[in-house]
Structure 1
Amino acid sequence: MIASLEQITKYYGAELILDHVSLKIEDQDRIGLIGVNGAGKSTLLNILSGDLEFESGERAITSGVRIGFLRQNSGLDRSSTILAEMRSVFAPLYEIERQMEAMRIRMRQFPDDHTLLEEYNRLHTEFEAGDGYLIDVKINTILNGMGFAGRDRETLISALSGGEKTRLALCKLLLEEPELLILDEPTNHLDFKTLIWLEDYLKGYKGALLIVSHDRYFLDSLVTSVCELDRTRLTRYPGNYTKFTQLREEAYARQLKLYERQQEEIARLQEYVDKNIVRATSAKSAKSKRKAIEHMELVEKPLPPQKRAHLSFSYDVEPVKEVLHVRDLALSVGEGSERRQLFKGLRLDVLRGEKIAIIGENGVGKSSLLKAIQGLFPIDEGKVDWGKNVYLSYYEQENTGLHDEKTALDELWDRYPRLYEVTVRTVLGNVLLTGEDVYKKVGSLSGGERAKLKFAIMMLRKSNMLILDEPTNHLDLDTKEALDKALGEFPGTILMVSHDRYLLSKVPTKIAEMTPAGMTIYQGGYAAYARGDRPILTPEQPEPEPIPAVPEKKSEASTTYYRGKKQRAEDAKRRKRLDTLEKEIAADEEEIQRLTEFMAGEEAASDYEKLTEAANRMEELQQGLTAKYEEWSELSE
């Protein structure tokens, strides 16, 4: 066992937050922690990390266990540089290296001092056990994987954005390798490439993981159990997130059935008691049954599932078959010398009933494309044709179309003034805006509440074409599930931009990957795209040299996805070099091991010249090994 919480109870003032919560974390555990906003997840994490007191219960951490906690507030030294902050993790090893260098100088001065040699060997063993020769390799591997490949390592942390600071804090934690790694929303601010790298890295992490995340795909990929905080209670379920959703429903149904059966039995016995307790002939039997009721171990009535949003999109007018036709579209942003082209030559056809998800690197112009095809953003060149009877609803991730000064009720009702108030309030209730919440000013609503209000507007609009820009941002897990279901059941056409891989696995019939050179279309959802299935070709489109699709998993030497002939040749060359490097690294490590054993033996202790030769050869090998590891790391990306 690494850590445990036993019967923890926590109040904030008079409000009960955690009620006799218990959690055990074993070595190699992969735990997902979920719950609605305000359920107490952060409170639980802070208690586990030792940063928060509690009213009753017991917190136990195994001696020597280090806990690493990624908070949204990074806690980095703002005056430090990227490289210095990463190297601070290895301060003890750098101190050993300094001592070794000083000792080498003294050994040259006093070649017959065996005490110096013994101390040097001890330090060298400790330095090597801590992978001291691979410090820079480790740092570069983590920084490159987490999206800092092109970033100057001497950049001050104070100059980084909030998202970059969070990513850098995670880099530092990964280098520290604590026995328990607690991650609070680690996927925020990560693009596909970085997210996939992090998933692969964490799958091989040696310690235990406790992850709070709204990224369902991330949880599915990593966790082996899910802990749900629900109304002050913690329940643990085996399996990943998808398994959890199934088990939670089954557990509720099973518990409710047991409770109802027992209540029926109690009612039957009580009825017998009431009828027979005063009768001389049956009083004894009635008393026996009354005792049976009194000694019965009562089944606890399960808490009903929390109310969830109900979303449903429909339309009245059927559009033509060819909904959208985009040809040779080019788009630029900025003014004057700052103006840059996002993409050119973009082609896209959308047919009635298709559900197309657009993906691509941050900054490639996905959101701008959605605006451009609606005439909300000027284009450089190209053509956009909409079919007849196409009626749009547009979900913009910033929700700028809302009026902050209006109430939620008026925001919806003013758009559909002919509806009765009860109808409008019913729709708001379907998205969990009820009671006094409907009188809140739109400007005071949370991000999730604003998103739900936007969905309520779209449900009443009854459009046959939905254009969605990151629709799952700000949503809790249950509302994401409701949106998945609603979009999957929607009979109309969808064009959306999303980084939510769980949504991308459930809804789209096609994946469209955007690059500065245009767009490549893949049949099917995210899984087919991640496998690298062959792109779709339109009659007007010559066979492209496709841009590689973002992979779902990395193999040992490379990521598998569709590549052109030239790229495949380069891959073969890279794999050959990787094989060569791996053999050379293995040979060098074997020679280093032999030299280490020699330097610790009696022969070296009595022959200073051989010892010096061995130390010089060791240093030469370590320098070469570091360079080879760096090249291997770059080729493996």
Structure 2
Amino acid sequence: MEQRFGATPLFSNVNFSIENNARIGLVGPNGVGKTTLLKIMTGRQEASQGEFTVNKGIELGYIAQEHDFDEEKSIWDEMLTVFQPLIAQGQQLEKLQYAVADHPEDSDLLQRLDQAQYNFEQAGGYTYQAEIKSMLNGFNFPQETWNKQIASLSGGEKTRLSFVKLLLKKPPLLLLDEPTNYLDLDTLDWLESFLKNYPGAILTVSHDQYFLDHLATQIFELQHGQLTVFKGNYSQYLKERELRDQQQEAAYEKQQEEIKREEEFIQKNIVRASTTKQAQSRRKALEKMELIDPPKHRSKVRINFSSERPSGKEVLILKDLAVGYPDKTMLKDISFQINKGDRVAIIGQNGIGKSTLLKTVMKQLPVKHGSIKYGASLDIGYYDQELQGLDYSKTVIDTIWDRHKEMNEKDIRSILASFLFTAKDIDKKVSQLSGGQRARLTLTVLSMEHNNFLLMDEPTNHLDLDAKEVLEQALADYDGTLLFVSHDRYFINELANKIVVAKDGRAKIYEGNYSYYLNEKAKEEARQQESASEQPAAAKAVSENKLSYQEQKKRDSEKRKLERQVAQAEKQLTELEAKEKEIQQQMADPAIAADFGKLGPLQEDLTNVQEKINEVTQAWEEASLALEDF
């Protein structure tokens, strides 16, 4: 398959197939044609060359920019349209039931009723309304909204409702373009769980690494006009991509050295009568040589944050704080402390007050109640998700120069180049930049201030996966303190050592990363469910304190079994990780790296070992979690 943009090819020689129940993440920098590829697959756009064919009877599900709704209908009535054939089937069944009631002696009629009831049940006739309710609740449409007219919904709500309608249809192949946009963290966790058990195949474009890690089992990388297939999730793809790049770098450098030696020989010997033929022969061989390309992933933004001076040990203390606006309190009863070196993430639904809290700490909004105590020697830097700190009338270079008048132009150009601004870009006005370029310019400005306390509001918005990866590493290496708002779960999980959850007008702190928060949240929900279904005190005392001898014996046996499983998994992991390291060392050998015939089998062995590591790790986690309940 090939697609051109004018005379320039966007991508070419793209070949792939999608298996039943596939879970594919389509990744690549912005502008390489990922959305275009999805449009070709759905028939909304024709390929310049080649085609995408779908097996007969396979329906594709895709959310287009325009919403397929009757906006006069309520949310509930619109969702019912998905099940119109089933509803009609139910109406026919009801007629049969009335007919049998009038003629109970008619055996033929009874048989038809039995078959109709069975067919209706198998088609989901008794469960489709529960499916609709579950899906609407999962996508944060509570029951009190179900009678709302669709025309009254916001653009983001309509996009979420399109997703609900699409998933209710259950097409055999789902094509998702940035499905995690517009969704809060609770909805994202629910969606992941739903899609893991989805009965069809899924291909998704996403910048959400956490989502790709938990869903994808294959990664399609679209870059430099080519599509490359990798096994595993996004983290496995990064490891394999890095290994391939190292191998290609070694092979490329080796070939370049060989070319240089040959060219030197040719130059020295071409004019000598005794060696002219040998030089000419080597020149012909050099011209026929199949050149190895340099690694694909060389051009990365380079970000570095460092502080000019250290802060005090206590950075920020919030006590009984309430934040908001004159006519509205957004969050209250906020009490927590941030110490030097902390990475604190604030999470919660959109519009609940996360940005308001940051603006209050930045003194852009007054404190409504309570207090904020700032630590000693603080230099505070602020990243605004709206990127309002930039003057849109200035050029890129003047944005930096006006803040650092003592710097020479060469140094400024060098710094901007490290943030991937080309010579043409730096003379553009900020208003002419894309969202991603403005985000990188804001990060450039912030990195040059050398603050020791960074407040960042959705810093990964507008950034592609590569840029997010570099930003994450830069903040991990940062020697100061970080307080940030984000909906990017991978970013939060990798950076945060504390999570502040804004919910129901209050803020609660968890001393750990995002995975720790999810674990604690699950425990809290389990305790709530247990409390809601609690037996009377006397019966509970019997069930908890008077286990029979047989029951206690069974528990002890189950515990020992889990302990054996954990020990066995740990032993397997040690052996597998040693094997993984051994293979990687072999592949890093320059002699092997230059021999693609040897690399293939080693790469296959490595992939198999890494897949086994994932399987054993999952088994270890499940057994360990179960063991914690004893």
TM-score band, normalised by shorter chain: 0.7 to 0.9
Q: Distance in 2 between matches of 1:237 and 1:572?
A: 49
Contact kept in structure 2, 1:74 and 1:169, CA below 8 Å: yes
Contact kept in structure 2, 1:530 and 1:561, CA below 8 Å: no
CA distance change for structure 1 residues 252 and 315 in 2, over 3 Å: closer, same or farther? same
Counterpart amino acid of residue 33 in structure 2: G
In structure 2, the partner of 1:250 is: 243
In structure 1, the partner of 2:129 is: 136
3-state DSSP class of the match of 1:393? Answer: strand
Q: Distance in 2 between matches of 1:573 and 1:216?
A: 43
Q: How far is 1:25 from its partner?
A: 0.4
3-state DSSP class of the match of 2:73? Answer: coil
Q: Distance in 1 between matches of 2:435 and 2:137?
A: 32
CA distance change for structure 1 residues 334 and 140 in 2, over 3 Å: closer, same or farther? farther
Contact kept in structure 1, 2:320 and 2:335, CA below 8 Å: yes
Q: Distance in 2 between matches of 1:364 and 1:46?
A: 35
Q: Distance in 1 between matches of 2:448 and 2:271?
A: 61
CA distance change for structure 1 residues 266 and 119 in 2, over 3 Å: closer, same or farther? farther
Matched residue pairs, number?
A: 536
Q: How far is 1:561 from its partner?
A: 4.3
2:526 aligned with 1:560, yes or no? no
Q: How far is 1:516 from its partner?
A: 4.8
Q: How far is 1:483 from its partner?
A: 0.7
In structure 2, the partner of 1:308 is: 300
Q: Distance in 1 between matches of 2:437 and 2:141?
A: 34
Contact kept in structure 1, 2:248 and 2:295, CA below 8 Å: no
- Mapping 1:214-363, distance limit 5 Å: 214-261=207-254, 298=290, 300-305=292-297, 307-333=299-325, 335=327, 339=328, 341-363=329-351
3-state DSSP class of the match of 1:132? Answer: coil
CA distance change for structure 1 residues 108 and 458 in 2, over 3 Å: closer, same or farther? same
Instruction: Spell out, residue by residue over 1:496-526, the C-alpha distance to the aligned partner (whole angstroms, 9 max, x if none).
Output: 1111111111112222223456433322321
- Mapping 1:423-438, distance limit 5 Å: 423-438=411-426
3-state DSSP class of the match of 2:12? Answer: strand
In structure 2, the partner of 1:540 is: none
Which of 70, 91, 94 is residue 98 of structure 1 equivalent to? 91
Q: Distance in 2 between matches of 1:158 and 1:504?
A: 35
User: Gaps spanning 5+ residues in structure 2: where?
Assistant: 540-630
Instruction: Spell out, residue by residue over 1:510-563, the C-alpha distance to the aligned partner (whole angstroms, 9 max, x if none).
Output: 22223456433322321222221xxxxxxxxxxxxxxxx4xxxxxxxxx33488
2:82 aligned with 1:89, yes or no? yes
Q: How far is 1:344 from its partner?
A: 2.3
Q: Distance in 1 between matches of 2:517 and 2:19?
A: 36
Instruction: Spell out, residue by residue over 1:5-56, the C-alpha distance to the aligned partner (whole angstroms, 9 max, x if none).
Output: xxx0111221211211011100111000011111000111111122221132
CA distance change for structure 1 residues 151 and 482 in 2, over 3 Å: closer, same or farther? farther
Which of 522, 525, 532 is residue 513 of structure 2 equivalent to? 525
In structure 2, the partner of 1:465 is: 453
Which of 434, 439, 442 is residue 427 of structure 2 equivalent to? 439
Q: How far is 1:277 from its partner?
A: 13
In structure 1, the partner of 2:175 is: 182
CA distance change for structure 1 residues 406 and 226 in 2, over 3 Å: closer, same or farther? same
CA distance change for structure 1 residues 72 and 247 in 2, over 3 Å: closer, same or farther? farther
Q: How far is 1:124 from its partner?
A: 3.3
Counterpart amino acid of residue 325 in structure 1: I
In structure 2, the partner of 1:633 is: none
- Mapping 1:55-66, distance limit 5 Å: 55-66=48-59
Q: Distance in 2 between matches of 1:222 and 1:153?
A: 29
**CA-atom RMSD, angstroms?**
3.1
Contact kept in structure 2, 1:472 and 1:500, CA below 8 Å: yes
Counterpart amino acid of residue 508 in structure 1: A
Q: How far is 1:140 from its partner?
A: 0.6
Higher mean alpha-carbon deviation, 70-79 vs 358-367, is at: 70-79
Contact kept in structure 2, 1:342 and 1:516, CA below 8 Å: no
Q: How far is 1:403 from its partner?
A: 1.4
In structure 2, the partner of 1:27 is: 20
Q: How far is 1:234 from its partner?
A: 0.5
In structure 2, the partner of 1:454 is: 442
In structure 2, the partner of 1:36 is: 29
Q: Distance in 2 between matches of 1:363 and 1:327?
A: 22
- Mapping 1:340-419, distance limit 5 Å: 341-419=329-407
CA distance change for structure 1 residues 571 and 360 in 2, over 3 Å: closer, same or farther? farther
Q: Distance in 1 between matches of 2:477 and 2:205?
A: 29
Contact kept in structure 1, 2:331 and 2:507, CA below 8 Å: no
In structure 1, the partner of 2:500 is: 512
Contact kept in structure 1, 2:321 and 2:334, CA below 8 Å: yes
2:11 aligned with 1:18, yes or no? yes
Contact kept in structure 2, 1:346 and 1:517, CA below 8 Å: no
Q: Distance in 2 between matches of 1:468 and 1:110?
A: 73
Q: How far is 1:287 from its partner?
A: 10
2:73 aligned with 1:80, yes or no? yes
Counterpart amino acid of residue 189 in structure 1: Y
Q: How far is 1:319 from its partner?
A: 1.8
Q: Distance in 1 between matches of 2:430 and 2:274?
A: 71
Q: Distance in 2 between matches of 1:424 and 1:330?
A: 42
CA distance change for structure 1 residues 99 and 414 in 2, over 3 Å: closer, same or farther? same
Contact kept in structure 2, 1:277 and 1:287, CA below 8 Å: no
Counterpart amino acid of residue 315 in structure 2: V
Q: Distance in 2 between matches of 1:166 and 1:383?
A: 40
CA distance change for structure 1 residues 276 and 480 in 2, over 3 Å: closer, same or farther? closer
Higher helix share: 2
Higher mean alpha-carbon deviation, 496-505 vs 406-415, is at: 406-415
Contact kept in structure 2, 1:329 and 1:379, CA below 8 Å: yes
Contact kept in structure 2, 1:72 and 1:184, CA below 8 Å: no
2:170 aligned with 1:163, yes or no? no
Q: How far is 1:569 from its partner?
A: 2.1
Contact kept in structure 1, 2:75 and 2:147, CA below 8 Å: yes
Contact kept in structure 1, 2:334 and 2:508, CA below 8 Å: no
Q: Distance in 1 between matches of 2:283 and 2:409?
A: 53
Counterpart amino acid of residue 99 in structure 1: Q
Contact kept in structure 2, 1:348 and 1:519, CA below 8 Å: no
Instruction: Spell out, residue by residue over 1:187-238, the C-alpha distance to the aligned partner (whole angstroms, 9 max, x if none).
Output: 1111111110000001111111101111110111100111111021101111
User: Gaps spanning 5+ residues in structure 1: where?
Assistant: 1-7, 533-548, 550-558, 577-637
In structure 1, the partner of 2:488 is: 500
Q: How far is 1:386 from its partner?
A: 1.2
3-state DSSP class of the match of 2:32? Answer: coil
Q: How far is 1:97 from its partner?
A: 1.7
Contact kept in structure 1, 2:255 and 2:292, CA below 8 Å: no
Q: Distance in 2 between matches of 1:33 and 1:74?
A: 23
Counterpart amino acid of residue 216 in structure 1: Q
Q: How far is 1:79 from its partner?
A: 2.8
Counterpart amino acid of residue 355 in structure 1: R
Counterpart amino acid of residue 439 in structure 2: A
Which of 532, 540, 553 is residue 570 of structure 1 equivalent to? 532
Q: Distance in 2 between matches of 1:573 and 1:247?
A: 53
Which of 44, 50, 62 is residue 51 of structure 1 equivalent to? 44
Q: Distance in 1 between matches of 2:175 and 2:525?
A: 35
CA distance change for structure 1 residues 423 and 50 in 2, over 3 Å: closer, same or farther? same
Identity %: 39
